[in-house]
Amino acid sequence: MNSNEKKIWMDGSIVDWNKATIHILTHALHYATAVFEGIRCYKTVNGLAVFRLSDHVQRLINSGKIYFMDIKYSKKQLEKAVIDTINANGVEESYVRPIAYYGYGKMGVNPLPNKVSVAIATWVWDEHLKREMHYEEKGVRLMVSAWMRIDGRTMPFLAKATANYANSALARVEALKAGFDEAIMLNTSGKVIEASAENIFMVKDSILITPPTSSGALEGITRDTVLTIAKENKIPYEIRDISRDELYIADEVFLTGTAAGIKPVAEIDNRSIADGREGLTTKQIKEKFGLVVYDRDDELSKKWLTFVE
Ligand code: PMP
């Protein structure tokens, strides 16, 4: 299916891809007053299924709440809308992008006079970290960005808001222009927080370590999935701040995100992480993650997959 044949859900109607347009004076375009989600629909052994749909929709609702958004749809209606969008678009494995935004009406910083609209699009997306096959074996190359991650005193970091991604984009572009694959971002205390669009984990002496969300990381759903897998498989883990130099001498580092999946890290700031190859813990978690999302894990697949009728 090419884009022209695809459909997008807009405020309750399924419309043609090319007709899913909004006014140039849409509030969200000018003042970044939108919140969004990134969800994956996997082609499991038992058919198409959305991974952790309820958790993603809840995060969208929470993000909207933080920005005083009056989203007119209930959680159940939004979940159904995601399924309807996938159904309208055929049988492929896809990435799903719901967005809630302040629309066209009154310009000015205050968004509240404007209606909140919701749209849901879906496409096949091999995000840039997923695309290159050799990364699967080699891992990605990261640099620590000079841009600090947004601080809780400036922006609410638990909202997955479009505004936050101006900060992410600056860091991502800085890394790409310097010849790296992705940027690691530090918080205003100089601690490692996350990558521009992924959470970060390191392994040291067989212990899995990730920074706390209270230090500024997004409450990543893949991050939570990895922590659950660790718990179930008795992999010891700690949630604590990580310093930049700790990463350099880690045994393993990997990134997690809905778009990127689980990505081993080969290098940070031109220092090789261990021998630069995917580590054993990363491999174990990645394999287990694959079982869960493709409906091959009895307990977690049942808990987290919503099948598309
Ligand atoms: N941090 C940031 C800044 C992100 O944009 C994302 C992607 N949503 C993540 C972490 C990972 O979150 P998730 O696993 O829910 O996709």
CA of 107 to the centre of ligand 1 (A): 30
Q: Are 85 and 19 part of one and the same domain?
A: yes
Q: How far apart are the first and last CA of the chain?
A: 19
Q: Do residue 152 and residue 289 come from a single domain?
A: yes
Q: So what's the pLDDT on residue 131?
A: 67
Give the per-residue pLDDT at 132: 59
Q: What angle do CA 6, 78, 73 make, to 5 degrees?
A: 120
Interatomic CA distance for residues 46 and 226, integer angstroms: 23
What pTM was computed for the model? Answer: 0.96
Are both 161 and 256 inside the same structural domain?
yes
Which residue has the CA at smallest separation from atom 5 of ligand 1?
Answer: 197
Do the domain assignments include residue 301?
Answer: no
To the query of whether residue 191 is one of the catalytic residues in this protein, the response is no
Which bin fits 12, alpha (ψ -120 to 50), beta or left (φ > 0)?
left
Do 135 and 284 have their domain in common?
Answer: yes
Q: Choose one of 62, 94, 125: the last residue of a domain.
A: 125
User: Are 155 and 108 contained in the same domain?
Assistant: no
Q: What is the CATH number of the domain that holds 270?
A: 3.20.10.10
**In this predicted structure, what is the pLDDT of residue 140?**
95
Residues 84 and 219 in one domain: no
Whole-number Å distance between alpha carbons of 214 and 303: 26
- What CATH number did the domain enclosing 109 receive? 3.30.470.10
Tokens representing 220?
């990543």
Return the structure tokens found at 144.
């620590």
Cα 170 to ligand 1 centroid, rounded to whole Å:
16
**pLDDT of amino acid 177:** 98
The answer to whether residue 306 sits within a structural domain is no
- Three-state secondary-structure class, residue 245: helix
Looking at the structure, do residues 149 and 35 belong to the same domain, yes or no?
no
Ligand 1 site, CB within 6 A: 38, 168, 194, 197-199, 218, 220-223, 256-258
In degrees and rounded to multiples of 5, residue 203 shows phi and psi of: -120, 130
Q: Is 92 part of a structural domain of the chain?
A: yes
| Same domain flag for 60 and 133 | no
The total of structural domains in the chain comes to: 2
Does residue 261 sit within a domain? yes
How remote is the CA of residue 125 from the centroid of ligand 1, in Å?
Answer: 15
State in Å: Cα 75 to ligand 1 middle. Answer: 21
Give residue 5's pLDDT: 84
Pocket test for ligand 1, best of 59, 215, 218 (most atoms within 8 A of CB): 218
In a domain, 88, yes or no: yes
Catalytic residue among 7, 160, 263, 286: 160
Claim to verify: residue 31 and residue 154 sit in the same structural domain: no
> Quick one: 207 exposed, middle or buried, by C-beta within 10 A (0-12, 13-18, 19+)?
middle
Q: Determine the structural domain holding residue 27 and report its residue range.
A: 3-125
- Domain termination site, one of 125, 145, 175: 125
Residue ending a domain, among 73, 91, 125, is 125
Whether residues 261 and 168 share a domain: the answer is: yes
Closest C-alpha among 288, 305, 149 to residue 228: 288
Report yes or no on 80 lying in a domain.
yes
Give 95-162 as a DSSP string: EEEEEEEE-SS--SS--TTSPEEEEEEEE----HHHH-HHHHHH-EEEEE-SSPPPPTTTS-TTS-BT
Asked whether residue 300 is domain-assigned, the answer is: no
**Full pLDDT tens readout for the chain, 309 residues:** 677 789 999 999 999 999 999 999 999 999 999 999 999 999 999 999 999 999 999 999 999 999 999 999 999 999 999 999 999 998 789 999 999 999 999 999 999 999 999 999 999 988 778 765 555 567 999 999 999 999 999 999 999 999 999 999 999 999 999 999 999 999 999 999 999 999 999 999 999 999 999 999 999 999 999 999 999 999 999 999 999 999 999 999 999 999 999 999 999 999 999 999 999 999 999 999 999 999 999 899 999 999 997
Tokens of 240: 């604590």
Query: Which pLDDT score is estimated for 135?
Result: 53
What pLDDT is stored for residue 34 in this prediction?
98
Is 307 domain-assigned? no
pLDDT at residue 18 in the model: 97
**Best CA proximity match to 283, nearest among 107, 99, 139:** 139
pLDDT at 67: 98
Residues 101 and 156 in one domain: no
Which residue's CA is the nearest one to ligand 1's atom 12? 220
Closest among 198, 208, 186 to 252, alpha carbons compared: 208
Do 98 and 134 fall within a single domain?
no
Average pLDDT, the chain: 95
